[in-house]
Amino acid sequence: MSRDTALVSADWAEQNLDTPGLVFVEVDEDTTAYDGGHIPGAIKIDWKKDLQDPVRRDFVNQEQFGALLSERGISNDDTVILYGGNNNWFAAYAYWYFKLYGHEQVRLLDGGRKKWELDARPYTKDVPVRAGTTYTAKAPDLSIRAFRDEVVEAIGVKNLVDVRSPDEFAGRLLAPAHLPQEQSQRGGHIPTAISVPWSKAANEDGTFKSDDELAKIYGEAGLDGSKDTIAYCRIGERSSHSWFVLQELLGHENVKNYDGSWTEYGSLIGVPIALGDEPGKA
Amino acid sequence: MTSPNVAAGCAAPDQSAPMPASVDIHRETVLTGIVQTAEGEAVGGAYVRLLDSTGEFTAEVVSSPEGVFRFFAAPGSWTLRALSRSGNGEVVVDATVGVNEVGLSVSPA
């Protein structure tokens, strides 16, 4: 993968709003942003209502994903352009998810809503009507999804990349600072994880830094390119952003996103936790 | 009782909403205020980011139509930085437990 096949610019997007075979999809947790104005022609996907199983703590399965995309009018051969707020966190999560279920052509809009708004590009409140399709999702590609047991086994063995803010890594904050800090799980990080906040990969306007800058950031942080990598954050959306950087922009192989992330790990009985700013020992 | 919207995800809560009943302001370190132009006009839709004492990004919210933003942090030194079509601005805050009111003005570069 590379930048050319994974990312589109705001300029390119604005010139291709009406191009057949492209579907713009806004993905957010709080979809009131979409309702207040969105890129013309874009449909919305609600990170929680549409992508999470309503009962079990997991995301929707292959059949549910196929049913969702059929209902929203997305075909298997459409090129899906994803964007959203929160510096594209949830759009990146959805990108990972489209890849997990085998969608061929999917791109992220560089900078998401923030870049679009700061550039004063057009929004509309018109909601497009798309005819239903028969979308067939593929079996989940588990080479990009990590589960808790392999995360514990990866301590001291694989690259573990904690992409939360330094204060969350150290255990001084339990959640991103736009959320209340009272949480059930313990603070800290997975021992031997390196701290590379997702934000290091992004410019202030939400666009991704250049490949050279990105490679330098991970190199200086101590990522060993010869090892497999697991990225995590708190609920798996910021780490989707970093997974996207490592696998889709920089072309690393064997990168997994641990979507259980700290909300799961920090609640497990008996697993090791490291506190403070250093990775800690296995 | 924590509202599911706050507990489960990472999207910013509605910034113009009153403080959720679940939030214990005697334990939380809240940084809140209004983004304004030099002329005192509220700036809605500004991207407000919270940077830690080393300048590292910690969180970001979008100001409400009334210009209001809010963070839940920890005691210590923080920088608040706003990006908007009306310009950018930043301010350094020494926060303590409780509600810290912060003025944040933006001006064209």
Strand intervals (E) in A104-200: 106-109, 159-162, 194-195
How would you list the strands of the sheet with A255-257, edge to edge?
A: A194-195, A159-162, A229-232, A255-257
Q: Give the H/E segment covering residue B38.
A: none
What's the pLDDT score for residue A2? 84
Share of chain A above pLDDT 70, in %: 99
Mutation target vs B (from A27, A34, A179, A235; most B CBs, 10 A cutoff): A179
Q: Model confidence at B18, in pLDDT bands (50, 70, 90)?
A: low
Inspect the interface and report whether the beta carbons of B6 and A179 lie closer than 8 Å: yes
Per-domain residue ranges of chain A: 3-140, 144-265
**pLDDT mean across residues, chain A:** 95
**pLDDT higher than 80, residue B17:** no
Phi, psi of B92 (to 5 degrees): -100, 135
What's the pLDDT score for residue A158? 98
What's the pLDDT score for residue A77? 97
**pLDDT higher than 90, residue A130:** yes
**pLDDT higher than 70, residue B3:** no
**pLDDT higher than 80, residue B9:** no
Active-site residue flag, A233 = yes
- Predicted complex ipTM: 0.82
Q: What is the mean pLDDT of residues A164-191?
A: 85
* The residue to which tokens 């706003």 are assigned: B82
Select from A155, A247, A231 the least CA-distant residue to A195. A231
Dist CA B35 CA B44 (whole Å): 7
Chain A residues touching B14 at Cβ < 8 A: 30, 32
Q: Model confidence at A58, in pLDDT bands (50, 70, 90)?
A: very high
> Given this structure, which CATH class describes domain A3-140?
alpha beta
Q: Which of the following is catalytic: A8, A69, A100, A233? A: A233
Chain A residues touching B58 at Cβ < 8 A: 165-167, 173, 176-177
CATH of domain A144-265: 3.40.250.10
Question: Are A3-140 and A144-265 the same fold in CATH?
Answer: yes
For A29, name the nearest residue in chain B, comparing CA atoms only: B11
**pLDDT higher than 80, residue B23:** no
Chain A residues touching B50 at Cβ < 8 A: 177-178
What's the pLDDT score for residue A182? 64
Tens of pLDDT along A223-234?
Answer: 998 999 999 999
Domains of chain B: 33-109 (2.60.40.1120)
Instruction: Enumerate chain B positions whose Cβ falls within 8 A of a Cβ in A.
Output: 2, 5-6, 8-14, 20, 22-24, 27-28, 45, 47, 49-50, 52, 54, 56-62, 70-74, 83-85
Dist CA B95 CA B73 (whole Å): 8
Residue B35 structure tokens? 């983004």
Q: Model confidence at B21, in pLDDT bands (50, 70, 90)?
A: confident
Q: Model confidence at B5, in pLDDT bands (50, 70, 90)?
A: very low
Tens of pLDDT along A206-217?
Answer: 999 999 999 999
Phi, psi of B97 (to 5 degrees): -60, 140
